[in-house]
């Protein structure tokens, strides 16, 4: 997946895809082109992920992960143009949420507005100590519309989400970790190494198992306990007839590293 994107840098190695928001001159703000390219990357992964097993989403530079929507581009937009662009936003965030592969956020700096919503949409995230977060939409006459009211609430709880969204105030990486938005805070120079190590660990596990477990957690958390248990067993039974299940048991008994085929 190394096509010539203009606003993203996309590279893969060792079953891990790294997607970098690449507009550092404007703090990696989301313009229409970047929205379309993100949508294209993650919609393609739903159809064909090849030998990929994990995705890292990060931003270029050490100041900003993503400053949110590009307000310079949005200035003067008609209502119709704004809503047409937002339809792309909605499709893009759904593509991320529907990605079958685990997505780890490497939050290298400020994550404001739509950038913060991207953090809430990935499976989990590590943040640089200098990262700051905010959902500032209510200070601009709008509200979060890229899943922020839903995904942030699921990450940090209803009362904290209301405080964050209704005040529009920024918060630190340490607070993001304490509240559950990010899993770990690291020194800026250590962030990508830590995220890559975690991605490599995930990529080294049975790929069908990882995908099925992700879906069971993601969808089951939105069901009743009993429906979630039923969904879990459906996901589990998908692995019983696979070659990887047999390989895992054989490798354990033969005291060797398993060779996963993804089938």
Active-site residue set: 117, 137
CA distance 185 to 131: 9
Query: How is residue 255 written in tokens?
Result: 């005291």
């Amino acid at each position: 997946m190394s096509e010539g994107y203009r606003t993203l840098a996309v590279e893969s190695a060792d079953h891990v895809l790294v997607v970098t928001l690449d507009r550092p001159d404007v703090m990696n703000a989301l313009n229409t082109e970047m929205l379309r390219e993100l949508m294209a990357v993650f919609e393609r992964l739903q159809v064909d992920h090849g030998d990929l097993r994990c995705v890292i989403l990060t931003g270029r530079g050490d100041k900003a992960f993503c400053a949110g929507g590009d307000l310079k581009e949005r200035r003067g937009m008609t209502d119709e143009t704004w809503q047409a662009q937002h339809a792309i936003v909605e499709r893009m965030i759904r593509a991320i949420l529907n990605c079958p592969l685990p997505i780890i956020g490497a939050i290298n700096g400020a994550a404001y507005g739509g950038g913060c919503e991207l953090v809430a949409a990935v499976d989990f995230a590590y943040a640089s100590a200098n990262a700051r977060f905010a959902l500032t939409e209510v200070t601009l006459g709008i509200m979060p519309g890229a899943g922020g009211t839903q995904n942030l609430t699921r990450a940090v709880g209803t009362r904290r989400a209301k405080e964050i969204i209704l005040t529009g105030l920024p918060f630190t990486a340490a607070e993001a970790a304490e509240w559950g938005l990010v899993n770990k805070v690291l020194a800026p120079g250590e962030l990508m190494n830590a995220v890559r190590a975690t991605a490599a660990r995930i990529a080294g596990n049975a790929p069908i198992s990882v995908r099925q477990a992700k879906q069971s957690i993601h969808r089951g958390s939105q069901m009743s306990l009993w429906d979630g248990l039923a969904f879990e067993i459906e996901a589990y039974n998908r692995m019983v007839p696979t070659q990887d299940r047999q390989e895992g048991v054989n490798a354990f008994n033969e005291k060797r590293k398993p060779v996963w085929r993804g089938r």
